[in-house]
Amino acid sequence: METVFDNKQEFVGAYLPPGLFNFLRLYCARENTSMNNLVLQTFSELYTEENERKVLSDIVDQAERTWNEKKETTSQEDYLKEVELILAKKKLAAHHISILCEEIEMRIKT
């Protein structure tokens, strides 16, 4: 069974303030590790299926609150398309977008 750690994707383009970036380098030197390994270790410790479900649930809650603010001026169909576009622009995985859109649609059905 494939886990979230089986395949690797490149993670680049993070912009940090110089002071924070310099501290990150200093920290990596102290730990005798690379920035890549530090990021991997940090998120490996953070990741659990329970945490993933919680993050998905939080996003659905946030979308529902936004819908409640917009429902007088926007159709459900347009709102769901807007949400899907926002999630895609944030480069979420296709399976996460699918899960989120289904959950949001179920929540906002009137």
pLDDT given at position 39: 87
Q: DSSP for 45-109, please give it.
A: HH--HHHHHHHHHHHHHHHHHHHHHHTTTS-HHHHHHHHHHHHHHTT--HHHHHHHHHHHHHHH-
Sketch the domain layout of the chain as residue ranges.
15-47, 49-108
For residue range 33-66, list pLDDT tens digits in order. 998 899 889 888 989 999 999 999 999 999 999 9
Mean pLDDT of the chain: 90
Q: What is the pTM of this model?
A: 0.77
With cut-offs at 50, 70 and 90, classify the pLDDT of residue 80: very high
Q: Which of 1-5, 67-71, 97-101, 106-110 has the lowest mean pLDDT?
A: 1-5
